[in-house]
Amino acid sequence: MTTYTVSAGVTSTGVSLSNGDVMNVLSGGAANSTHVLISGVMNVSSGGIASGSLVSSGFVEVLSGGIANGGTLYGTTLSSFGEQDVYGKASGTTVNGGYQTVLSGGVDVGVTLLNEGEEDVYSGGVASGTTVQSGGLQGVASGGVASGTVVDSGGDQFTFSAAYASAIPAGFLVGSVGGTLIGTVVRNGGEMIVGNHGAAIGAVVSSGGIANVSSGGVASGTRISAGGVMNVS
């Protein structure tokens, strides 16, 4: 069990963390190509940077600091049982069978979700430019925001609050109770479901796409292209 401190002006490269090892990346410090294995932990403070990390059954936390000052992870890969909690900023993360949460003040840009990889965006968190591939899942809780999501064939996205400009080729998007979907694009083979008390605003249903609006749900400003289908029950 070892504790590593990466302070201002220091760069660590290729460190492996496991069995209770902890790395703390402080403001002005940088960690490159860290491998976070089972029971390993990496904490990235405001102003700290981690680049090219691989998280496999380990845990990474990007601490508070918001968009401007939050810790930043670039190109992180989360594999099976790996977890990353984002209070700062994460960019270019690949979640391959792992789990990522974007919490209040957190911003996640360009994440890719696949093979049972999951991202949950909670109140005050923002996910932008997410790609949900086969087996991936993105959930947006009340008060969270997903912007510009693309859901590929076999990917799932569900929301309890707001999803902006979600593009769904052969995917699946759900506006659950009270959820709001704004600017959703449902492409060929894609499906959007607006449940009771849910709302879809400005959706576009392309040819081969399906929108289902259940009793108590609302769809306004919807544009249905030739070959698109909208069912209201």
Give the pLDDT score at 35. 87
Give the pLDDT score at 32. 87
- φ/ψ region of 168 (left if φ > 0, alpha if ψ in -120 to 50, else beta) reads beta
Question: Could you tell me the two tokens for 214?
Answer: 């259940």
Using CB atoms within 10 Å of the CB of residue 223, give its burial: 0 to 12 exposed, 13 to 18 middle, 19+ buried: exposed
User: Quick check: 205 pLDDT over 70?
Assistant: yes
- φ/ψ region of 68 (left if φ > 0, alpha if ψ in -120 to 50, else beta) reads alpha
How far, in Å, CA of 182 to CA of 135, rounded?
Answer: 24
pLDDT digits (tens, 9 = 90+) for 82-133: 888 888 888 888 888 888 888 888 888 888 888 888 888 787 888 888 887 8
Contact between 109 and 93 under an 8 Å Cβ cutoff? The reply is: no
Using CB atoms within 10 Å of the CB of residue 27, give its burial: 0 to 12 exposed, 13 to 18 middle, 19+ buried: middle
How far, in Å, CA of 176 to CA of 178, rounded?
Answer: 6
User: Quick check: 136 pLDDT over 50?
Assistant: yes
pLDDT digits (tens, 9 = 90+) for 35-91: 888 889 889 888 888 888 888 887 788 875 422 234 555 567 777 778 888 888 888
Give the pLDDT score at 135. 81
Query: Residue 186: which of 150, 134, 231, 161 has the closest Cα?
Result: 150
Higher pLDDT, 80 or 164: 80
Question: Could you tell me the two tokens for 3?
Answer: 């504790």
Query: Residue 143: which of 158, 159, 163, 122 has the closest Cα?
Result: 122
Give the pLDDT score at 126. 85
Contact between 73 and 94 under an 8 Å Cβ cutoff? The reply is: no
Give the pLDDT score at 137. 80
Contact between 179 and 195 under an 8 Å Cβ cutoff? The reply is: yes
How far, in Å, CA of 164 to CA of 220, rounded?
Answer: 15
Give the pLDDT score at 173. 57
Return all residues near 63 (Cβ < 8 A) that are at least 6 apart: 43, 44, 45, 46, 70, 71, 87, 88
Highest-pLDDT range among 15-24, 43-52, 68-77, 151-160 = 15-24
Give the pLDDT score at 174. 56
